Chains A and B, each alone.
Chain A
Amino acid sequence: MIRPSWLSRTLLLALVVGAACKGGDEGKPAASNTFRIGVVTSLTGSQAAFGQAHKNGYSVALAEINAKGGVHGKQIELVYYDDQSKPDQAVQGVAKLVDQDHVPLILGGFSSENTRAMIPAVTAKKVPLIMPTATADNVMETGSTWVYRICGGSSSYAGATVGFLKETGAKTIAIVYENTNFGQANAKAMKELAAGAGMSVIDEEAYQANSPDYKALLQRVKSNNPDVVYFASYLIDATTLMRQSAQVGLNPKYVTSAGTGFAAPEFPTEKQAGKYAEYTYSVSQWMATSKYPGSKEFDAAFTKLSGAHPAYHGMEAYATLVVAADAINRAKTEDSAAISEAIRATKLTTPFGPIEFDAKGQNPHQILITQVQGGQYKVVWPGDQAEAKPVPTPAWDDRH
């Protein structure tokens, strides 16, 4: 038998002692001079642009709320977990935030795919989850009593788009969607609502969001010659789809979309689609020109923080934290169940719009339609909120 040397024994001892010390720290509750709220979002990975918008939106709300005295007389501290744009990491984030950081509620995630994955975890741990941006309708259909959503979902996206298209006389529609929860849910909702409004869905195309080449897909759409294309895409794929639409000469009368990539502030800039973004339509949850008080102030604070104007994703994060702080104050305790009940009883007017939750936890929220005109998102529908008239999308060859 080989006897372990003194060196290896010392090392082993150091390891054991080290592990014991680490274990000791983890069990301790958080220091009690702040109130910790957990946030899961995508700070890196394919959806980092949106995760950063979340973070900036939360930061604006955090500064505002803490300046007014925070909650329960304590300052709020946000504990972020970066899910790297991956659903399994989002689930791990819930476990880490609840078990190690002992947060009584969680806000997030960014994408529908990741948020949907978090729901069984928060339900099992009995911690309320307020969802800022997950639009797939199935995040509200799990039967969980711990989830609340402040944004409109995929059916309201499709509903607003169809409402707008009805006024244009468009008859045929092609749906092009990224093949995860967000895209699938929005395609499904559009399919149902378009048929109900007398438009025929003549083409449906699912795609993998990491492909370099969508030209054949777009050619397929082109050969069906639809009046309208409805895209459900994230940012990078939205850019590639529009660049390649020009390459294959896909010319529908209306290029519409389920927001997200097509509504990101970067989308009409030179770094992304630039001039290829011009004339595209998008749904929007909120615009800085919104009639609800506080929108201009949020726009100013967000722009100061991030150097760019916010899209609705930043506002949704802001409103989510405002709702959370309001509920925590009314609950008067750090107990998750009491906070959850307080969230359910929310009745607030935020810059995002009025917020209250129905029995399922959904906030009914009005959706706008915007169009990129001169590199800016302009509200074109509904009529009473429109800043500009909708322009049919001109053919690529007619642009210059």
Chain B
Amino acid sequence: MVVQIWSALQAVLNGLLTGALYAIVGMGMALIFGVMRIVNFAHGAFMMLGMYATYVLFEKLHVNPYFGFLAAAAILFVLGYATYEGLLRRIADRSDFMQILLTLGISLIITDGVQLIFGADYHQISIPLLDINVKLGPHISLNAPWLLSFAITVVLATGMFLFVMKSRLGRALRAIAQNRYAASLMGIDVMRVQALSFGLGLAAVGAAGGLLLPVFYLYPTAGDQFTLKAFVIVVLGGMGSVGGAAIAGLVLGVIENLTSLYWGNEWALVVDFIVFLLVLSLRPSGLFGSQRV
């Protein structure tokens, strides 16, 4: 019995470590959805780009991935800004369906482009940190790279939350989320702020990709499963709420790990989507109410 409690606790802790990465992926998606009402089907593809950026920096220039992820975030910010200015802006006033098709198209182009350049092979990096396990008592052990990425994500997520809640630009973001016409009448440059928030959303997912690289493997469709997870997180956190998405990411990580522990690994994804459907049908405003951004 005691052993069982320890193993449940271990699973919850591992779930929080994984969940922190989900959280930041989901926060990026929530920010984009909240400010632009765009469902970004290319979210996972952009994450994969962040992974490749970090990978190339590591392999070619020997940049440690725990610094490289910052470069990945910066690259994706620029890419996000450019994507908005070049593509999304043109259809900002058109139907949601067009935006879905556009982001889906972007996703295919990125994935196949990466496959053309890097091939479909799997890559994995090996860093000494992977060999370190931090023991908390006789029953609990946590892998150092996951702990480090958790710490970094907490800083990033808090920073992002404070930015949205406290900064002037953050206030503009929330104003647009509430009513973009009223916001533009108040003198907010809606297009520019949207471009910035698309860049910021992608920077978040790019950083997550970089942080995931040491503990995952890399291939052109590596991001796809995270697009789906990001949908679940955004719905769970209350459509477009950045803070809600952070908590939803953690919750999802814990749910997955406990499902794996008690039911088996093959059920983890099934349970993800059962949660998704339940929240959509029973509590469409999300677990934490419906405030936007």
Which B residues lie within 8 Å of A211 (CB)?
A: 265, 268
Q: Are A48 and B143 in contact (CB under 8 A)?
A: no
Interface residues of B in 1-19 (CB under 8 A from A): 3-4, 7, 10-11, 14-15, 18
Taking the complex as formed, is A46 at the interface, i.e. its CB lies under 8 A from any CB of chain B? yes
- CB within 8 Å of B: which residues of A? 44-46, 48, 84-85, 179, 205-208, 210-217, 219-220, 222-223, 236, 239-240, 243-244, 246-249, 270-272, 274
CA–CA, A84 and B119, complex, Å: 10
B274 within 8 A of A: no
Contact B257–A215 (Cβ < 8 Å): yes
Known A-B contacts A44-B120, A271-B126, A272-B124; the reply to A217 vs B141 at CB < 8 A is no
Report the Cα distance A302→B7, complex, angstroms: 47
Q: Contacts A48-B122, A215-B257, A216-B14 known; A248 to B265 CB distance under 8 Å?
A: no
* Distance between B143 CB and nearest chain A CB, rounded to angstroms: 5
B93 at the interface (CB under 8 A from A): no
Interface contact B18-A247, CB-CB below 8 Å: no
Bound-complex Cα distance A85 to B115 (A): 13
Knowing A207-B265, A239-B124 are in contact, say whether A248-B260 is a contact too (CB < 8 A): no
B142 contacts across to A, CB distance below 8 A: 247
Prevailing SS type, chain B contact patch: helix
Whether B10 and A248, one on each chain, are in contact in the complex, defined by CB atoms closer than 8 angstroms, is yes
* CB pair B120 A84 closer than 8 Å: yes
How long is the Cα–Cα vector from A295 to B27 in the complex, in angstroms? 57
Closest Cβ of chain A to B130, distance in Å, is 7
- Residues of B in contact with A, size category: 35 or more
Q: Are A219 and B7 in contact (CB under 8 A)?
A: yes
A45 surroundings in chain B (CB, below 8 A) = 120-122, 219
* A48, A179, A213, A223: the one within 8 Å of B121 (CB): A48
Q: Is B215 interfacial (CB 8 A cutoff)?
A: yes
Interface residues in B40-89 (C-beta closer than 8 Å to A): none
Q: Would you list 17 pairs from A and B whose C-beta atoms are within 8 A, ordered by A residue?
A: A44-B119, A205-B264, A205-B265, A207-B266, A211-B268, A212-B18, A212-B217, A213-B256, A215-B257, A216-B14, A216-B15, A216-B258, A216-B260, A223-B3, A244-B143, A247-B142, A274-B126
Closest chain B residue to A214, Cβ basis: B265
Chain A residues positioned under 8 Å from B143 (CB to CB): 244, 247
- A179-B266, A208-B265, A236-B217 are contacts. A219–B122 as well, Cβ < 8 Å? no
Within the complex, what minimum Cβ distance (angstroms) separates A205 from chain B? 6
Question: A219 touching B266 by the CB < 8 A rule?
Answer: no
Please measure, in the bound complex, the distance between the C-alpha atom of A379 and the C-alpha atom of B90, giving whole angstroms.
65
Q: From residue B222, how far is it (CB to closest CB) to chain A in Å? A: 8
Q: Return B129 CB to nearest CB of chain A, in Å.
A: 12
Q: Are B122 and A217 in contact (CB under 8 A)?
A: no
For residue B216, CB closer than 8 A to chain A, the reply is: yes
* Interface assignment of B212: CB less than 8 Å from any CB of chain A: yes
In the bound complex, do residue A248 and residue B120 qualify as a contact, i.e. CB atoms below 8 Å apart? no
Among candidates A208, A223, A244, A272, residue contacting B269 with C-beta atoms closer than 8 Å: A208
A208–B3 alpha-carbon span in the complex (Å): 27
The docked-state distance in angstroms from the alpha carbon of A247 to that of B141 is: 7
Contact partner, B261, options A44, A216, A240, Cβ 8 Å:
A216
Find the residue from B3, B4, B260 having the highest chain A CB count within 10 A.
B260
Contact with A along B241-264 (1 / 0, CB 8 A): 000000000000000111111001
Q: B158 interface residue, CB < 8 Å from A?
A: no
Q: Which residue of B lies closest to A46 (CB)?
A: B122
A48 and B143 CA atoms in complex are apart in Å by: 29
